Amino acid sequence: MKFHIPIFLITMLVNAGCNEGLQPISLEETGFGGTISFVSKLPPPDSLFDFRIVAVPYYPIDTTFTQILIKILNDSIAYSPSTIQTLDSGSIVRYKMLVKPKIYRYVACVQQYGPDSFKQWKVVGIYGFTTVNSAPSSVVVKDGIFTNSIDMVVDFYHLPPQPFKTP
């Protein structure tokens, strides 16, 4: 009998403290991510105004940049927040894109090389583009699934083919 109260108190205490710690936090993010490896020196500051990742559902060949801008405004092309603050030559940066579920046939890193944020952009890295494979790879994004390992390599001084048509 004399142990009943302590046992009751211990049971209550244990019960109150149960199942704490890590939780299976919701990961209902839809998108993709990976690393960007910078294999060259960064351009000088006067030619590096911004740096972003874009995901385009089609290969944007023969598209003017103005047309791309319109599509961005229509929300049919995804783009990342500016990542210029995290750039560092000879380093690896992790990125994350939360996008709508669809097939993105062209995922690329783009550099704003001049002060005109509407026109002065160029592609500096493409997902799937290597010295062996010169075609971009598609990224399939499904609802509620976050795909990793969409890694890209950026060399500011050896650019991949530029898709934009001069307006």
Partner 1 sequence: MKIILHYILLSCLALSQGEWISVSGKIVSSEDGNPIIGATVLVQYSTIGTSSDNDGTFFLKHIPASRKTLSISAVGFKTVTVTLTNEEKQEQTIQLTPSPVQTQDVVVTASKRAQSLEEVPVSMSIVDAKSFSDRNIVSVDDALRYVPGVNFQQTQINIRASSGYSRGAGSRVSLLIDGMPLLAGDTGEITFESIPVFQIERVEVVKGAGSTLYGSGALGGVVNVLTKDIPEHPLVWWRLYGGFYSPPVFDEWKWSDKTRFTNGQYAGFTERFGRLGIAFSLHRVSDDGYRDNDWLRRYSGYVKMKYDFSPYQSVTVSTNIFQQYRGDFLWWKDVKNALHPAEGQQNATVTSLRANSSILYKHFVSEDFYFDIKAIHFRSNWYRDSLSTKRLDESISDAIVLDVQGVATVNQDNTLTAGLVWNGERIRSNIFGGHDGQGGAIYAQDEHKFSTDLSIVGGVRYDVQRVIGLQTNQQVNPKLGIRYHVAEGIALRSSLGRGFRSPSVSEYYTSTANTGSAAIVVSNTTLKPEHSWTYEIGMVQNYSGHMTLDMALYQSDFSDLIDASVGLDSSISKSAAVIQFKNITQARIQGFEMSCAANFLDQAVQWNVNYNYNWAVDRDTKTFLRFRPRHSASTNISYKYDLMTVGADFRYSSRIEQIDDKLVQLAPIMNGDERVPVYLLDVRINTHMLDLGLPMTLGFTINNLLGYNYVELIGNMAPPRSFVLSVEGML
Q: Which residues bind partner 1 (CB under 8 A)?
A: 14, 17-27, 34-35, 37-39, 90-92, 94, 130-131, 148-149, 151, 153
CB of 72 to partner 1, least distance (A): 28
Distance in angstroms (rounded) separating the CA atoms of residues 104 and 127? 10
Instruction: Name which of 44, 34, 154 is nearest 90 in CA terms.
Output: 154
CB of 20 to partner 1, least distance (A): 6
Q: 68 or 124, CB closer to partner 1? A: 124
Q: 19 or 74, CB closer to partner 1? A: 19
Amino acid at the residue 154: V
Task: Name residues whose C-beta falls within 8 Å of residue 142's C-beta, 6 or more positions apart in sequence.
Answer: 30, 101
Q: 68 or 99, CB closer to partner 1? A: 99
Instruction: Name which of 29, 16, 80 is nearest 51 in CA terms.
Output: 80
Instruction: Name which of 126, 115, 133 is nearest 158 in CA terms.
Output: 126
Residue 89's alpha-carbon distances to 53, 97, 122, 145, in angstroms, are: 17, 22, 18, 31
CB of 61 to partner 1, least distance (A): 24
Determine contact, residues 55/99, Cβ cutoff 8 Å.
yes
Q: 78 or 153, CB closer to partner 1? A: 153
CB of 90 to partner 1, least distance (A): 6
Q: 50 or 155, CB closer to partner 1? A: 155
CB of 54 to partner 1, least distance (A): 20
